[in-house]
Structure 1
Amino acid sequence: MADGDDGAQTWRHETVTEGPWAGWIAYGSDPFEEHAGPFYYRLDAAGAPVCAMRTEAQHMNGGGFMHGGALMTFADYAIFVFAREHLQDGHSVTANFNADFVGAVPLGALLECRGEVVKGGRSLIFLRGLMTVEGQTVFSFSAVIKKTGKRT
């Protein structure tokens, strides 16, 4: 996230040019997600976004697997990536979030998230998604984003 001269928040949208995430896009404007990540996305061959992160020690729970709150934070990031074309001109918030924890995510795993906008309305956007590790589903979710007003 960056602050404009007037203090307004602006979206960060940068393609990574070096390292293991080269070609992926760093995207967002949320200080908590910046702290909780890093999170990235790219477009697959069909043009659909896929989000990804590599699990680190900071994401783990006491049992040695990814903390549920970290999974939900990554999913919350992903829904805004999936809905980005519906959100270009305004502010928005997560209004509803439903999740199913269906598998454990170990330290060092590449966690991928794919999803879609089910319906994009005037003020609400309905979404769903799945997270996988090595092709195995570990987390499924649905969410609703509420548009809250125009960007200034």
Structure 2
Amino acid sequence: MAEQATVWPDGVIDVIEGPWAGWRTWGELDAFESMVGPFYWRAGADGAIRCAFRAEPRHMNASGFMHGGCLMTFADYSAFAIGMSALGDDWSVTAAFNAEFVGAVSAGALVEAGGEVIRGGRSLVFIRGLVTADGDPALSFSVVAKKAARRS
């Protein structure tokens, strides 16, 4: 990450310089997401979590549009950011993931996601959201996150 940042003990990174100043990320916590991203999140004035990243040529498929796997990886990341309050400090994993591709994403687009927790229980949290590209719908998704013990 080229930007200057503050790193918290829980691994959350506050970006303080560059184009993503004011956003947060989990940095290198997930090696796969770090390779595909970086992805960012922040809470709006209403407390709702928004996630974002900029589409780059490396994210495109042979047709010149964003690879579906990249969109789904970002949606999965976004689900856990959106569900943070319901997931608490518990380690959690994706138990179910559903997605519908509803639009294409071109290189250079600002890709964003928002959503809501539908229900949070003792062990399962149900989350749904929408990924947009420059404001146009690209992917709708729903995730069931399972609270689980962390494995080494």
User: How many residue pairs are counted as aligned between the two chains?
Assistant: 143
Distance 1:114 1:27 in 2: 17
Q: 3-state SS of the aligned residue for 2:17?
A: coil
Partner residue in 2 for 1:111: 111
Query: Deviations along 1:7-52, whole A, 9 cap, x unmatched?
Result: xxx7421111111101111126211101110100111121100000
The letter of the residue matching 2:149 is G
Number of the residue aligned with 1:87? 87
TM-score normalised over the length of structure 1: 0.88
- Partner Cα separation in structure 2 for residue 106 and residue 74 of structure 1: 15
Which residue identity does 2:11 align to in structure 1? Answer: R
Distance 1:26 1:85 in 2: 16
1:45 pairs with 2:45: yes
Q: Would the aligned equivalents of 1:113 and 1:131 in 2 still touch at CA under 8 Å? A: yes
Map 1:69-88 onto structure 2 (within 5 A): 69-88=69-88
In 1, Cα distance between the equivalents of 2:136 and 2:67? 18
Is 1:27–1:41's contact at 8 Å kept on the other side of the alignment? no
More displaced, 85-94 or 65-74? Answer: 85-94
Secondary structure of 2:74's aligned partner: helix
Alignment gaps of 5+ in structure 1: 1-9
SS of the residue 1:116 aligns to? strand
If each structure's strand is expressed as a fraction of its own residues, which one has the higher value? 1
In the alignment, residue 136 of structure 2 is paired with which amino acid?
Q
In structure 1, the residue matched to 2:130 is 130
**Matched-pair identity in %:** 56
Hey, what does 2:6 align to over in structure 1? none
CA RMSD between the two structures: 1.8
Number of the residue aligned with 2:62: 62
Runs of 5+ unmatched residues, structure 2: 1-8
